[in-house]
Amino acid sequence: MTLFDPTLPPAQYLAHADLIHDEAAVRLAIAELAAALKLSLHDSQPLVLCVMGGAVVLAGQLLPLLDFPLEFDYVQASRYHNQTQGQTLLWKVLPSHHVKDRTVVLIDDILDEGHTLAAIREKCLEQGASRVVIAVLAEKLLGHEKPIRADHVGLQVPNRYVFGCGMDVYGWWRNLPAIYALPEQVSPAALSG
């Protein structure tokens, strides 16, 4: 048996993956997220911050469902660097000064170990945000405490590396409309076949 590695042709990751949530389930989850955000934020004129790049698919589907006044901006912080293990958080685009005295909604594709969203939330508060609300498409079930909780979670995913709907596997497949998980292990024969 062997672990997946970053050098395989991208089709191999999908060929060996398991479907976790299909496209219909993802759409329903995003509609439910929109309904929850409408209830809690419709009169707060929030600033919605998309955590690029993973949240791009969620943002594109969620924003048109939010029928109340909001402003949109983005931040960019990467911890996985196109790998499957989290590393040091690298800030690429910081929140702008416009977070001051605002209700800020962070939207991201996945809450995994929670370090990324914890750091972004902290930065927003440091810069004067009055409230930070977190909405994620998926939360990974790790079975232990995390440094942060999301206020709104669309779907739960198992403790495996997942991809699709904005989430990449070694840089590939953010474009898939459903969520897949890599197997823990795969035999070398299966990969060469």
Ligand X SMILES: O=P(O)(O)OC[C@H]1O[C@H](OP(=O)(O)OP(=O)(O)O)[C@H](O)[C@@H]1O
Find the shortest distance in angstroms from Cβ 83 to ligand X.
Answer: 8
x/- binding map, residues 84-113, to ligand X, per CB under 6 A? --x---------------------xxxxxx
CB burial of residue 132 (10 Å; 0-12, 13-18, 19+): buried
Quick one: DSSP state of residue 84?
S
- Contact segment (CB under 6 A) with ligand HPA among 1-9, 55-63, 118-126, 156-164 equals 156-164
By a kind-dependent CB cut-off of 5 to 8 A, residue 108 interacts, out of ligand X, ligand HPA, none, with ligand X
Residue with tokens 């990974």: 140
Find the shortest distance in angstroms from Cβ 160 to ligand HPA.
Answer: 7
Q: Is 79 in the site for ligand X (CB under 6 A)?
A: yes
**Complex with ligand X: residue 51 or 133, whichever CB lies closer:** 51
**Omega before 53 within 30 of 0, i.e. cis:** yes
| Rounded CA separation 78/88 (Å) | 8
State the residue number with the nearest CB to ligand X: 54
DSSP run (H or E) holding 179? strand 179-181
CA distances from 88 to 37, 80, 115, 175, 184 (A): 31, 8, 10, 25, 23
DSSP run (H or E) holding 51? strand 47-52
Q: Is 173 in the site for ligand HPA (CB under 6 A)?
A: no
Q: Is 80 in the site for ligand HPA (CB under 6 A)?
A: yes
| Rounded CA separation 60/39 (Å) | 20
By a kind-dependent CB cut-off of 5 to 8 A, residue 128 interacts, out of ligand HPA, ligand X, none, with none
Residues 89-148 that bind ligand HPA (CB under 6 A): 110, 112
Residues with Cβ within 8 Å of residue 124, at least 6 apart in sequence: 49, 95, 99, 104, 106, 132
Find the shortest distance in angstroms from Cβ 190 to ligand X.
Answer: 26
By a kind-dependent CB cut-off of 5 to 8 A, residue 163 interacts, out of ligand X, ligand HPA, none, with ligand HPA
- Contact segment (CB under 6 A) with ligand HPA among 24-32, 66-74, 98-106, 157-165 equals 157-165
What does the binding site for ligand HPA look like in residue numbers (CB under 6 A)? 80, 110, 112, 161-163, 167-168
